Amino acid sequence: MSEPADIFVVGGGAWGTALAHVAAIANARPRLVARQGSVVEAINESHTNPEYLPDIAIHPRVRAQIGAEGIETADIVIMAVPAQHTREALTAIGPERLAGKPVVLAAKGLERDTQLRQSQVLAQVAAEAIPLALSGPSFAAEVARSRPTAVSLAGADVTHTEKVAALLAGPTFRPYAGADLVGVELAGALKNVFAIACGAVDGAGLGLSARAAVLARAFAELRRLVSALGGAPATLTGLAGLGDLVLSCTTRQSRNFEFGRRLAAGEPAAHALVEGRHTAPAALSLAVGAAVDAPITAAVNALISGQAEIGELVAALMTRPLKRENDTQRVPPEGK
C-alpha cells in the first residue's frame, strides 16, 4: 500500500473542512489551516466545526492549525478560502513554498478588481505552482455528510490531474479529471451570478416558469461567455457546467440563490460575502471586453447595485428584440 498523501487545506470554513474530511476518508493525511482558534480547537478536540458545519462529525484524521507551517512538505495544497481572499492567502504562504506543488483551487469566483480567474491569481503570486481547478455540483454540508458527490478537476496535464484526482477520490467523493482549466473555472464562477438571478425571480414571486426561462437563457449566456473567453463549450454539458448551474439555480441551499431571493423580496440580504456578488461586476467587464451579449449578467449587476428592481429587469429581458433561440438572427416580421 502506498504512503498516504499529505494534503494541506487552506481555509477553515465549511468548504475547506468538508474537503479535508473527504481527503481523510480517501486515506490522506489532511491538515486544515484555519484563522480562528475556536475552529482549530473544535476540529482537534471534538472532531467538529460548529462554527461552519454544526452537528456534522469530521474525520478524526483531520488535524487543524493556525498558519501554514509545514506546508512545504505537502503533496497537494487545496485553496478553499473565498475567491476575494485567495491572493492574500497565497501571498501569506509565499511562492517558494508552493513551487512545483499541485495547488487545487476550490473557490468559485473571479477576483473583482482584476477580473482574473483563480489560476491566474495563482500564476501572479506563485508562478511555479501547478494550478488545478475543482468545481461542480456540491454543497459543503452534503460532502461532509458523505453524500454522493461528483465534481470536475481540471488541469493542463491530464495525466498529472488524474493522479491528483485519484488521491482525493473516495467512496462518496468522485473528482473527474479534465484539461479545460479555463472552462471549469469560468463555469464555476459565472454560475454564481446566474444563481443570484434565479433567486431574485423566486424572491419576487414571478413563478417557476419564469425561473426556468432565466435558467435556460443563463445557460446560453454562459456558453457565449465561456466560448469567447477561451473555454471549451463541451465543458458546459458536464459537472462543472450544467450540473453546477442547475444545482445552484434551483435551491435555497445555494447561498447565491438565497442572496438573490432575499434581495428581490426586500429582506435583509444575508451572506454578504457570497461569491456571485463580487464576481458579477468582474464578469460584466469581461463580457463587455469580449463584445459578448450578457443581459442576465448586466441585470444582476443592476439589481445588486440598486439601479433597478427585479420586476423592471425581468420586463426589460422580456422585451428584448426577438431572436432565434440558438443563434443571433432577428425573427422577421410576420409575412416577410
Q: State the catalytic residues.
A: 191
Task: Give the C-alpha separation, 222 to 155, whole Å.
Answer: 21
3-state helix, strand, coil in the chain (%, to 5): 50, 15, 35
Task: Give the C-alpha separation, 262 to 260, whole Å.
Answer: 5
168 burial (CB, 10 Å; 0-12 / 13-18 / 19+) is buried
Count Cβ atoms below 10 Å from residue 21 Cβ, excluding itself.
30
Short-list 315, 287, 171, CA closest to 224: 287
Short-list 214, 242, 218, 82, CA closest to 152: 242
CA atoms within 13 A on the CB side of 53: 28
